Structure 1
Amino acid sequence: MKTSRRGIRSFHDITRSDVDVRRPIVTLFSGGLDSTYLLHRLVQAGSTEVHALGVDVGGDEQPEQIRRIADQLGVRLHLVDGRAAFVEEFVKPAIAAHGVYLDTHPVSSSLSRPLIARTAVQVARELDAQMILHTANRSQNTLRRLNGALEQLGFQGYFGTPYDLDPVGREMKIKELRAIGLDEMAERSASGDSNLWCREFESGSLDDPENHAVPESYYRWTATRGTPDAEDLEVTFHAGTPVAVDGRELPLTDIIELLNRTVGAHGLGRHTGLEHLADGIKVLEVREMPAAWLLLASRRHLETAVLEAEALREKIHVEQIWVREALEGRWYGGLRAACQAFVTALVAPVTGTVRWRLAGSRTSTVSIVAADPKYVRSREDWEWAAIREEISHLGGAVNDGNGNGSTQW
Structure 2
Amino acid sequence: MPSCVLAYSGGLDTSVILGWLQDEGYDVHCVYVDVGQPCEDREAIMQKAHDCGAKSARLVDVQEELCRDFAFPVLQWQARYEGIYLLGTSIARPLISKVCLQVAREVGAEAYAHGATGKGNDQCRFQLAAEALDPAVKIIAPWRIPAFREKFPGRTEMIDYCEQKGIPVKASIAKPYSSDENCLHISYEAGKLEELTVDGYEVVDFGMTVSPQEAPDQPEQITVGFESGVPVSVDGEKLSAFEIVQVLNERAGRNGVGRIDIIENRFVGMKSRGVYEAPGMTVLYETHRLLEQLTVDRDLAHLRDRIAPEVAEMVYYGLWYTAKFDALLAFIEEAQKPVTGEVTVNLYKGNILASSRSSPLSLYDEEIASMEGGGSYDQTDAEGFLRIVGLPSRVQGRINPRDY
TM-score range, shorter chain: 0.7 to 0.9
Is it true that 1:184 corresponds to 2:169 in the alignment? yes
Map of 1:365 onto structure 2: 354
Matched residue SS, 1:373: coil
Residue 260 in 1 paired to residue 254 in 2? no
**Structure 1 SS opposite 2:210:** coil
Q: How far apart, in 1, do the equivalents of 2:326 and 2:119 lie?
A: 28
Instruction: Find the counterpart in structure 1 of residue 317 from structure 2.
Output: 328
Tell me the amino acid that sits aligned with residue 34 of structure 2.
D
Unaligned runs of 5+ in 1: 1-21, 395-409
Per the TM alignment, residue 65 of structure 1 is displaced from its structure 2 partner at its CA by 4.2
Give the drift of 1:217: 6.2
TM-superposed deviation, 1:286:
1.5
Instruction: Tell me the secondary structure at the aligned position of residue 159 of structure 1.
Output: strand
Deviations 1:344-381 (A, max 9, x none): 11111011111111221454111122322233547546
Query: Given the alignment of the two structures, is residue 227 of structure 1 paired with residue 215 of structure 2, yes or no?
Result: yes
> In the alignment, is the contact (CA less than 8 A) between 2:229 and 2:338 conserved in 1?
yes
Query: For structure 2, which runs of at least 5 residues remain unmatched after alignment?
Result: 385-404
Q: Does 1:78 align with 2:58?
A: yes
Residue 258 of structure 1, CA deviation: 0.2
Structure richer in helix, relative to its length: 2
- In structure 1, the partner of 2:397 is none
Corresponding residue to 2:97 among 113, 117, 128 = 117
SS in 1 for 2:58: strand
Q: Is this contact kept in 2: 1:104–1:272, CA < 8 A?
A: no
Q: Which moved more, 1:380-389 or 1:327-336?
A: 380-389
Mapped pair 1:170 → 2:155: yes
Q: Which moved more, 1:83-92 or 1:184-193?
A: 184-193
The normalised TM-score by structure 1 is 0.84
CA contact (8 A) 2:162 2:169 kept: no
Question: Does 2:195 match 1:208?
Answer: yes
Is the 1:244–1:255 Cα contact (8 Å) retained in structure 2?
yes
CA contact (8 A) 2:200 2:275 kept: no
Aligned residue type for 2:248: L
Q: Could you tell me how far 1:205 is from its partner in structure 2?
A: 2.1
The answer to whether the Cα contact below 8 Å between 1:269 and 1:289 also exists between their aligned partners in 2 is yes
1:50 aligned residue (28, 38, 45): 28
Of 296, 300, 307, the match for 2:296? 307
SS of 2:143 mapped into structure 1: coil
Once residues 319 and 336 of structure 2 are traced to their aligned partners in structure 1, the CA distance between those partners, rounded to angstroms, is 23
Q: Does 1:199 align with 2:189?
A: no
2:375 aligned residue: 385
In 2, distance between residues paired with 1:387 and 1:353? 27
What secondary structure, in the 3-state scheme, does the structure 2 residue paired with 1:171 have?
Answer: helix
Post-superposition shift, 1:161?
Answer: 0.6
> Quick one: distance in 2 between partners of 1:361 and 1:325?
29
- Whether the aligned pair in 2 keeps the contact of 1:130 and 1:157 (CA below 8 Å) is yes
Counting matched residue pairs gives 371
Q: Is the 8 A contact 2:94 2:129 kept in 1?
A: yes
What RMSD in Å do the two structures reach over aligned CA positions?
A: 2.4
